Amino acid sequence: MVSSLSSFHLLKSGTDSNARAGELLTPHAVVPTPVFIPVGSQATVKTLTPEELSDIGISMVLANTYHLYLRPGISVIEKMGGLHRFMAWNGAILTDSGGYQLFSLAPLSRVSDEGVVFRSHIDGSQHFITPELAIQFQETLGADIIMVLDECPASDISFERVQMAMKRTHEWAARCQKAHQRSNQALYAIVQGGVFAELRRKSAQYLTSLGFSGYAIGGLSIGEPKEVTLAMVEETVALLPEDKPRYLMGVGSPEDIIEAVSRGIDVFDSALPTRVARNGALFSRRGRVNISNSVYSRMEKPLDPECQCYTCRSFSAAYLHHLFRCDELLAYRLATIHNLSFISNLMHEVRAAILNNTFNSFRDNFLTGYKPTNEQVRLEQKQKWFKARRRIE
């Protein structure tokens, strides 16, 4: 049953691993966990309609306060009846406060204890956001789950600078909690601390003492090696409450999701599945494939004959190859449908395995057959993306 409040119900935990199954109870949907949330920063998951998302099995999407503040404006969405009505989405919505965007556009922003002064990446206009305003904006948007404003440090800066960002994140979290008024919205804190286990532990201990509705792990998957990411997840999860949802921000690769679920994570979000889809990279049980490769030019079968998504039910791999080679817009839609369907189905299988006490064998079988992207290539691509973002003036 959909709840008038946002809460979490843990159904299964720690039988054959640290993996957990539960439900996020929100005013707009009951969201089974573990769950992957597609990113729709500007009130749309790129190329897809809300109906298509529902058909895929998506029950929650993420929208971004930073982007919606700049365009079309918080007041415009308020006049339209709130974010759900504005984007014609009946499911649950989580809004990010925009801290990550301010990190990725670092040359355009200046952080102080009071808040963040930044220039719009659209027109260069100057703006100032405080923790209190971040909460006010998200309450006005009407999301089911909202996030505190945090400072996300880069992965390669000193212990002292990361510690400073962590302390500021803690101060802002307390201010956000004090400013939060809507009882039908869950407010999640964000654990920071970079790649330093000591700081991760301090952050988790402090934020859990404040008693938030849920806890996110931020500042990871931003250029550090995967083994470091997973080590920081383990350090953090060990100190988070058993009865509250655990949200790993910015992780969307199938193999990373499986590994993080095994360490006790409930919620994920990332633009990766939709972004790589638009570049012709499609998920399969054997790993990511590039549909533009010539091997698919005459392939009469679907890309994944076992997949039941609309794309694989209806079209051959050769047709998808043709669409991408011709830069047809339909290519992006069909690839996005496939990738989100793959992730959605994977989450259903993961949850079923947890409930059936077979998660460990499921994890091992999946990871044995799935070939991840080369780690060095992945890190280089991530750094290239960050550098491109930070060149914006």
**Secondary structure of 346-360 in the HEC alphabet?**
HHHHHHHHHHCCCHH
Q: Work out the pLDDT band at 289, boundaries 50, 70, 90.
A: very high
State the distance between the two ends of the chain, measured CA to CA, in whole angstroms.
48
The residue-averaged pLDDT of 131-147 equals: 98
pTM of the model: 0.95
Instruction: Decide if 338 contacts 347 (C-beta within 8 A).
Output: no
For the beta carbon of residue 2, count every other beta carbon within 10 angstroms: 10
pLDDT at 165 exceeding the cut of 70 = yes
Can you tell me the distance from the alpha carbon of 195 to that of 226, in angstroms, rounded to the nearest whole number?
11
Please give the torsion angle defined by the CA atoms of residues 182, 33, 18 and 185, in that order, rounded to the nearest 10 degrees: 0
Mean predicted confidence (pLDDT) in 75-89: 98
Q: Which residues are the active-site residues?
A: 96, 269
> So what's the pLDDT on residue 383?
62
| Kind plus residue range of the DSSP H or E element containing 215 | strand 214-217
In this prediction, residues 329-344 reach a mean pLDDT of 98
For the chain, helix (H) and strand (E) counts, in that order, are: 16, 16
Residue 130: what are its φ and ψ, rounded to 5°? Answer: -105, 165
- Does position 104 have pLDDT exceeding 90, yes or no? no
CB 42 within 8 A of CB 76: no
Residue 23, SS3 per DSSP: strand
Query: What is the SS3 assignment for 270?
Result: strand
Backbone angles phi, psi at 147, to 5 degrees: -120, 150
Amino acid at the residue 237: V
* 292 CB neighbour count, 10 Å cutoff: 16
The residue ranges of every structural domain in the chain are 7-277+375-390, 281-366
Task: Give the pairing of strands 20-25 and 7-13.
Answer: antiparallel
The residue among 215, 204, 202 whose CA lies nearest residue 246 is: 215
pLDDT(390) > 70? no
State the Cα–Cα distance between residues 221 and 229, nearest whole angstrom. Answer: 6
Mean per-residue pLDDT for 273-286? Answer: 97
Q: Tell me if the domain spanning 7-277+375-390 has CATH number 3.40.50.920.
A: no
Average pLDDT, integer, range 259-286: 98
Distances in whole angstroms, Cα of residue 351 to Cα of each of 23, 215, 253, 262, 306: 11, 20, 17, 11, 20
User: Over the stretch 202-237, which tens digit does the pLDDT of each residue have?
Assistant: 999 999 999 999 999 999 999 899 999 999 999 999
d(CA 302, CA 284): 11
pLDDT digits (tens, 9 = 90+) for 33-80: 999 999 999 999 999 999 999 999 999 999 999 999 999 999 999 999
